[in-house]
Amino acid sequence: MILKQLKSKFIETLSGSYPPEEIQSFFNWLAESYLGYSRFEVSINSGLIISAEHTAKFSEALQRLQNHEPIQYILGETEFYGLPYKVTPATLIPRPETEELVQWIIDGIPPSKRAGGMLAENKIEILDIGTGTGCIAISLAKNIENTKVSAIDISAEALQVAKENATLNETSVTFLQTDILNTIMLPQQYDVIVSNPPYVRAMEKKHMQANVLKHEPDTALFVTNEEPLLFYRAIATLAKKHLTPNGTLYFEINEYLSGEMKQLLEQEGFTEIELKKDIFGKFRMLKCRWSVSV
């Protein structure tokens, strides 16, 4: 089979299941991964004969896409904040909105503390709770020179992926397996605590895409309708004990619960609570400060 025929079959098979632009993107990603061809190279090499081995790989990917499996799981990789990451069904696929949270954290650290060398003060201690692929922790470790980053997750499988990603991106992150809902004490004090915990209510499943519902890990996504802020409450309680004076707590949040989140943190005694919209104009991030001496 030649490349042009392979592409035509691919598009025809998925037509009606995905938007045309997305189908085109799928094919380009697979061509780059399997053949080493860019989008432009695919267009100028349409007569290339594809080997039986590569044809079989495209066929397998096509079947998995028909089952609405995310392309990132099929490829086993994705990109986040300019860095490559391995992904498996044990981890959520990093979202572009979370990159905005990472940037907000970096922007919030004064340059004098952020830089290494002679001007550096004590290293900034950062904790990422519910790390998944490690994308938040690794991005912060990679982009803030004067820092020590730790990350925790309940899933041993996710932590293994995160450790591989830390090695892949040549960063040093301390990983620990912990169930945050059953944790009374954290290992130390931190200047920054960040978390993107489960926050999608069961009632919101009907609005979600099939590829997310069928393939991404439920435990990293969903909470009950009755206790949607369960993880935030637990993390806030721990943060009060383990943030340094004037330490900062960052969350990615459910866009529908921003008011409830602000109220929760006010009740817990946090100050300087700030909500931030993402690129789509939705309140998806929050930061606050712990101003009480510990």
Residue 213 pLDDT: 72
Q: Hey, how many other C-beta atoms are within 10 angstroms of the C-beta on 170? A: 10
Average pLDDT over residues 262-281: 95
Q: What is the pLDDT of residues 29-39, one digit of tens each?
A: 999 999 999 98
pLDDT tens per residue across span 66-75: 999 999 999 9
pLDDT above 60 (res 163): yes
Contacts 24+ apart (CB under 8 A), 125-128: 125/150, 125/188, 125/189, 125/190, 125/191, 125/192, 125/244, 126/150, 126/190, 126/191, 126/192, 126/193, 126/194, 127/151, 127/152, 127/186, 127/190, 127/192, 127/193, 127/194, 127/242, 128/152, 128/194, 128/195
What is the model's pTM?
Answer: 0.91
CA proximity to 201, closest of 134, 120, 256 = 256
Share of the chain above pLDDT 90, in %: 78
CATH pick for 78-290 out of 3.30.200.20, 3.40.50.1370, 3.40.50.300, 3.40.50.150: 3.40.50.150
- Range scoring the smallest mean pLDDT among 55-64, 109-118, 149-158: 109-118
Q: Is the dihedral of CA 50, 215, 211, 256 positive or negative?
A: negative
Q: Which residue has the higher pLDDT, 270 or 213?
A: 270
- Angstrom CA distances, 186 to 150, 189, 248, 293, stand at 11, 8, 16, 17
Q: What is the mean pLDDT of residues 78-92?
A: 96
Q: Do the beta carbons of residue 136 and residue 129 sit within 8 Å?
A: no
Rg (CA), the chain: 21
pLDDT band at 7; cut points 50, 70, 90: very high
Question: What are the tokens at 147?
Answer: 């820092």
Mean pLDDT of 113-133: 78
Q: Is the pLDDT of residue 120 over 70?
A: no
**pLDDT higher than 50, residue 118:** no
Task: Express each pLDDT in 174-216 by its tens digit.
Answer: 999 999 999 999 999 999 999 999 887 878 877 777 777 787 7
- Average pLDDT in the chain: 91
Q: What is the pLDDT of residue 200?
A: 79
Residue 10 pLDDT grade (very low, low, confident, very high; cuts 50, 70, 90) = very high
